[in-house]
Structure 1
Amino acid sequence: MKSLVLYSSLTGNTKKIAYAIYDEIQEEKDIKDVNELVD
């Protein structure tokens, strides 16, 4: 199973939590900042 962690963070707190979740996922994974995906 693939997992994708999406986050949006103005101050960096949500980013820290997103990376903590990302680090706990054992299977194939990716992490993206939503702001980098928006045109």
Structure 2
Amino acid sequence: MNPLPDDEIRRRQRSRALVMALLLGALVILFYAISIAKMA
């Protein structure tokens, strides 16, 4: 089993970080919307 090249590892890390950032942003928007709805 040969190891992956460094650029492939970096690309996977970058795509995983992008997905995590999008999920975190979606959670923030969801909590914001819920708190606005509870105040109204």
* TM bracket (short chain): 0.3 to 0.5
Between structure 1 and structure 2, the one with the greater Rg is 2
Q: TM-score, normalised by structure 2?
A: 0.37
Higher RCO (C-alpha under 8 Å, 6+ residues apart): 1
Structure 1 or 2: more helix by fraction = 2
